[in-house]
């Protein structure tokens, strides 16, 4: 048995600290870019439906009805995509962990079911939040536009001339 000294552990932790910080920074930048892209895509999606939303408002739909419609659409779409991503990720991890363990003849310790469930739930919540926040801005902006301007295809809000 080899003894691991505390100094060796400290040096290893120090040498791994810089790459981990770099990876965390890259993750945050990719996440921010993804959130921005989701917002842009949702804005263009809503812009394509301005006439429909204008007609709904002209027929009596309230601003909150438009907001909730647009928000629920995003919640359903992103929730479904997130669940599909989590399921396929778990399937791939399960398949390749067995393959690596057999091929390389090394024991591969996977986290327990509770830890995997916790990580999956966290991924779901973060993904849903990341899709709903930028979509909410677009929904708020669009719901405040007068029906006439929505049907006409303009972005004039309440109180603007």
pLDDT tens track for 104-148: 887 777 888 899 999 999 999 999 999 999 988 888 888 888 888
Q: What percent of the chain has pLDDT over 90?
A: 39
Query: What tens digit of pLDDT does each residue of 98-111 get?
Result: 788 888 887 777 88
Considering all CA atoms of the chain, what is the largest pairwise distance in Å, rounded to the nearest integer? 80
Please give the sequence-ordered ranges of beta strands (E in DSSP) within the chain, or none if there are none: none
Cβ burial of 86 (10 Å; 0-12, 13-18, 19+) is: middle
Question: Lowest-confidence range among 9-18, 23-32, 90-99?
Answer: 9-18
| Average pLDDT value for residue range 45-69 | 90
Per-residue pLDDT at 95: 85
What distance in Å separates the CA atoms of residue 86 and residue 91, rounded to the nearest whole number?
Answer: 9
What was the pLDDT predicted at 161?
44
Query: Residues 65-87: what's their mean pLDDT?
Result: 93
Residue 159 has what pLDDT?
47
Number of Cβ atoms within 10 Å of the Cβ of 103: 9
Helix 63-103 crosses helix 113-143 at what angle (to 10 degrees)?
150
């Amino acid at each position: 048995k080899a003894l691991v000294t505390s100094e060796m552990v400290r040096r290893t932790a120090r040498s791994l600290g810089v790459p981990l910080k770099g990876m965390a920074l890259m993750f945050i930048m990719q996440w921010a870019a993804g959130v921005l892209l989701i917002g842009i895509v949702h804005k263009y999606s809503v812009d394509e439906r301005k006439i429909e939303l204008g007609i709904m408002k002209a027929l009596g739909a309230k601003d909150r009805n438009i907001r909730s419609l647009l928000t629920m659409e995003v919640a359903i779409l992103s929730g479904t995509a997130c669940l599909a991503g989590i399921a396929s990720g778990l399937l791939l991890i399960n398949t390749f962990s067995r393959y690596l363990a057999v091929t390389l003849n090394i024991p591969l310790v996977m986290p327990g079911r509770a830890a995997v469930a916790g990580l999956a739930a966290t991924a779901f919540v973060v993904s849903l939040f990341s899709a709903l926040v930028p979509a909410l801005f677009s929904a708020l902006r669009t719901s405040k536009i007068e029906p006439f301007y929505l049907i006409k295809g303009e972005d004039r809000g309440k109180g603007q001339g």
